[in-house]
Amino acid sequence: MPIRILALIAAVLCLGTGAATQRPPNIVWVMADDLGYGEIGVYGQRVIQTPRIDQMAAEGLRFTQFYAGATVCAPSRSVLMTGQHHGHTRVRGNAGAANPIAQALRPEDVTVAEVLRNSGYTTALIGKWGLGDTGAAESGLPGRQGFDYFFGYLNQRHAHNHFPDFLWRNETRLALPNPLTPVGGDGAGYSTDPVFFADDLFADDVLRYVATHQRQPFFLYWSPVIPHANNERTRDLKNGAEVPDVGQYARESWPDPDKGHAAMITRLDDSVGRLLDQLRRLDLDRDTLVVFTSDNGPHRESGHDLDRFNPSGPFSGIKRSLTDGGIRVPAIAWWPGTIGAGRVSDHVAYFGDLMATAAELAGAAVPADVDSISFVPTLRGQPTQAAHDFLYWEFHEGGFQQAALYQGRWKGIRQGGPDAPLRVFDLRSDPAERTDVAGTQPDVTSRLDAYLRTARRDSADWIPKW
């Protein structure tokens, strides 16, 4: 047999072997805390500098209609982990110290970390958790919800303090030399003589984790706390934008909270850039999907000026709002060699879709009883993308409210009671949700009304109080 034919056969056999043994991609989910849709350059920000995330978008895919799981922290994270929408997931609000078990995942909950670990992934959470704690809520500790490794904050009140006097590594409490001025319990407070900024420690640990876990696919859930305010510091010192320095914003004539808030976001931007650089340095970039997003809409709890930064972009409302300003978030997907550069997608997706997306990438079965649609076709630029007919949110603070999005266009919001009038908005022509069209769109209004009446399951921990 001629040598050329033998070489061709050998090459084909090698290709076949490689295809059979090719491992699934690493998955990195980077989720900022209280970062608004409009606080990133590629989403319209003109004051705060985010060059690395902007470059990430230039090299990857930018979603224009991506939604958080909720308008506040804990339930949004619960939707992300379980793949169940806000009316089905375990944790549906920020319960706090008064009822910690209501803010904890239980043994029967199936998380995306568990699905991936059972599929051969190593799993890590670095940063803020908020879905379990020591004591009554220990069923929700990360190590009991699918994570092989954890470094960060368990308790979200503790996470207000960016210079904490302790953090957790797995289930071991690690002391830090940040002297604490305590305000309330759970490690909340602030430091007047800080040493270690928690998010800098997290960024360093992310790079270390990536460098030491190259031999098998990994799922890394990186959950920075910035730009969340230190609420206790705002109350005592009138500036909750807690950051080691204000960097390039020192030259601005702004109030200190404004400088600090901008500096937090630019510091986050630099850390994200360091991660992408590390993946390239280790030749892992083409084997790794990175998604950057935020857990809900922007806050105003640092005492900074919202008008200066226009953090919600073209939408109305902020954190704790069910208008799009409270729940539509930036989302950028980066996967060199798979996702083409400079792509923009209007596919409507939300946090719950991570479950089906990760399962498809891992070759795993999607758990039963989830509200999740894989957006892998959108990542790969394929024309076969399925879509949600409805998305759902609720909010329990200050009187129960519900919201639903129908066909990616029609937004219904109800507050005041189960039979209160439903406000309906056409996001296509009215993204700021200023004009109620319920009266002129009776069929749409009827469909939204019927859906909202059946969208949620009863939960003893989260009973609507209209």
Q: The domain spanning residue 424 has which CATH number?
A: 3.30.1120.10
| 177 and 215, same domain (yes or no) | yes
| 309 and 411, same domain (yes or no) | no
Q: What is the pLDDT of residue 397?
A: 96
Helix/strand/coil for 9:
helix
Could you tell me which residues are beta bridge partners of residue 390? 406
The answer to the question of residue 202 being in a domain is yes
Q: What is the pLDDT of residue 21?
A: 55
Of 325, 358, 383, the one marking the end of a domain is: 383
Q: What is the pLDDT of residue 96?
A: 85
The tens-digit pLDDT sequence of the chain (466 residues) is: 444 443 333 333 333 333 345 899 999 999 999 999 999 999 999 999 999 999 999 999 999 999 999 999 999 999 999 999 999 999 999 998 889 999 999 999 999 999 999 999 999 999 999 999 999 999 999 999 999 999 999 999 999 999 999 999 999 999 999 999 999 988 999 999 999 999 999 999 999 999 999 999 999 999 999 999 999 999 999 999 999 999 999 999 999 999 999 999 999 999 999 999 999 999 999 999 999 999 999 999 999 999 999 999 999 999 999 999 999 999 999 999 999 999 999 999 999 999 999 999 999 999 999 999 999 999 999 999 999 999 999 999 999 999 999 999 999 999 999 999 999 999 999 999 999 999 999 999 999 999 999 999 999 999 999 9
The answer to the question of residue 79 being in a domain is yes
Per the CB < 8 A criterion, the answer to whether 265 and 50 are in contact is yes
| 412 and 367, same domain (yes or no) | no
Per the CB < 8 A criterion, the answer to whether 415 and 394 are in contact is no
b/e map of 166-175 (b: 16 or more CB within 10 Å)? ebbeeeeeee
Of 339, 357, 383, the one marking the end of a domain is: 383
| 315 and 435, same domain (yes or no) | no
Q: What is the pLDDT of residue 385?
A: 98
CA atoms 156, 402, 35, 357: torsion sign: positive
Residue 322, token pair as written in the block: 């069910």
CA 28, CA 266: separation in Å to the nearest integer?
20
CA 271, CA 276: separation in Å to the nearest integer?
9
| 267 and 322, same domain (yes or no) | yes
| 333 and 252, same domain (yes or no) | yes
CA 406, CA 153: separation in Å to the nearest integer?
36
Give the CB-side neighbour count of residue 232, counting CA atoms within 13 A: 22
CA 212, CA 210: separation in Å to the nearest integer?
6
Strands 189-190 and 181-182: antiparallel
The domain spanning residue 63 has which CATH number? 3.40.720.10
Of 357, 383, 409, the one marking the end of a domain is: 383
The answer to the question of residue 288 being in a domain is yes
Alpha helices per DSSP H over 226-362: 231-237, 256-281, 306-309, 324-327, 353-362
- Domain interval for residue 349: 24-383
Q: What is the pLDDT of residue 22?
A: 82
CA 285, CA 276: separation in Å to the nearest integer?
7
| 363 and 404, same domain (yes or no) | no
| 362 and 447, same domain (yes or no) | no
The answer to the question of residue 14 being in a domain is no
Number of domains in the chain: 2
Per the CB < 8 A criterion, the answer to whether 390 and 454 are in contact is no
Residue 238, token pair as written in the block: 């009138």
Helix/strand/coil for 202:
helix
pTM of the model: 0.95
DSSP structure class, residue 116: H
| 234 and 260, same domain (yes or no) | yes
| 187 and 105, same domain (yes or no) | yes
Q: At what angle do helices 256-281 and 51-59 cross, to 10 degrees?
A: 40
Per the CB < 8 A criterion, the answer to whether 418 and 450 are in contact is no
Per the CB < 8 A criterion, the answer to whether 386 and 375 are in contact is no
The answer to the question of residue 8 being in a domain is no
Per the CB < 8 A criterion, the answer to whether 50 and 357 are in contact is no
Name, in order, each residue with C-beta under 8 angstroms of 423's C-beta and a sequence gap of 6 or more.
Answer: 412, 413, 414, 436, 438
Residue 77, token pair as written in the block: 């994270």
Per the CB < 8 A criterion, the answer to whether 327 and 297 are in contact is yes
User: Tokens 């902020």 label which residue?
Assistant: 318
DSSP structure class, residue 421: P
Q: Minimal CA–CA distance to 404: which of 438, 376, 366?
A: 438
User: One-letter amino acid identity for 299?
Assistant: H
User: What do you get for the CA distance between the two ends of the chain, in Å?
Assistant: 81
| 196 and 141, same domain (yes or no) | yes
Residue 63, token pair as written in the block: 């979603």
CA atoms 456, 457, 462, 466: torsion sign: positive
Per the CB < 8 A criterion, the answer to whether 56 and 332 are in contact is yes
The answer to the question of residue 208 being in a domain is yes
Helix/strand/coil for 278:
helix
Q: Minimal CA–CA distance to 459: which of 138, 82, 129, 33?
A: 82
The answer to the question of residue 459 being in a domain is no
To the nearest 10°, report the CA torsion of 93, 348, 31, 402: -10
| 345 and 405, same domain (yes or no) | no
The answer to the question of residue 326 being in a domain is yes
